[in-house]
């Protein structure tokens, strides 16, 4: 099996698409993380009762974010994907965030995208197309998720698809 973290991200800036590897499906209270050395998904934590990932969550392959991990991506999809699914996603924006953990502060952005096969979200082209409440819930999830781990996540803002492309290009290795 190839190392999923090193797959070609297949970023197409013109079509505004990239590949995503799903680590934790929408609705799951389980956080998995891809371990490139073991080439397996490791169980990292279980969220408390009543808390679950709001969208499919994973990473953009062949990228490295400021936190030392591949760039995070949240994917809107009609149904939850499975752990390890490779999804072609249309970029709609990025949640810009700053995380403080163990006395260190760094950027920890989350790219927002729509699964290319989605029917329900095919008309969403930018983060601002999402209802304000949905975007607020997405950002609050990361604030709460960080607090559970003793980290502080500060939302800096939500930007559109052009900024998502720039974030991926900056993180490509």
pLDDT the model gives residue 10:
86
Pairwise CA distance, residues 158 & 137, whole Å: 13
Task: Count Cα atoms within 13 angstroms, Cβ side, for 47.
Answer: 20
Mean pLDDT of 94-112: 96
Pairwise CA distance, residues 63 & 70, whole Å: 5
Judge whether residue 158 has pLDDT over 90.
Answer: yes
pLDDT tens-place string over residues 108-146? 999 999 999 999 999 999 999 999 999 999 999 999 999
Residue bearing tokens 């490295």: 64
pLDDT the model gives residue 8:
86
Pairwise CA distance, residues 71 & 37, whole Å: 18
pLDDT tens-place string over residues 1-37? 789 999 987 899 999 999 999 999 999 999 999 999 9
Q: What is the CA radius of gyration of the chain?
A: 15
pTM for the full predicted model:
0.96
């Amino acid at each position: 099996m190839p190392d999923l973290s090193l797959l070609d991200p297949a970023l197409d800036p013109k079509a505004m698409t990239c590949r995503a590897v799903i680590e934790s499906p929408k609705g799951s209270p389980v956080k998995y993380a891809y371990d490139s050395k073991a080439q397996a998904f490791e169980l990292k934590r279980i969220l408390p009762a009543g808390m679950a990932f709001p969208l499919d969550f994973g990473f953009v392959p062949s990228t490295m974010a400021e936190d030392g991990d591949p760039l995070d991506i949240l994917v809107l999809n009609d149904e939850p994907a499975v752990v390890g699914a490779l999804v072609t996603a249309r970029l709609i924006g990025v949640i810009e965030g700053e995380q403080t953990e163990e006395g260190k502060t760094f950027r920890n952005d989350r790219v927002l995208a729509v699964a290319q096969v989605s029917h329900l979200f095919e008309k969403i082209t930018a983060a601002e197309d999402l209802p304000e409440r949905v975007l607020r819930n997405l950002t609050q999830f990361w604030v709460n998720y960080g607090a559970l781990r003793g980290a502080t996540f500060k939302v800096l803002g939500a930007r559109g698809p052009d900024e998502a492309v720039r974030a991926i290009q900056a993180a490509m290795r």
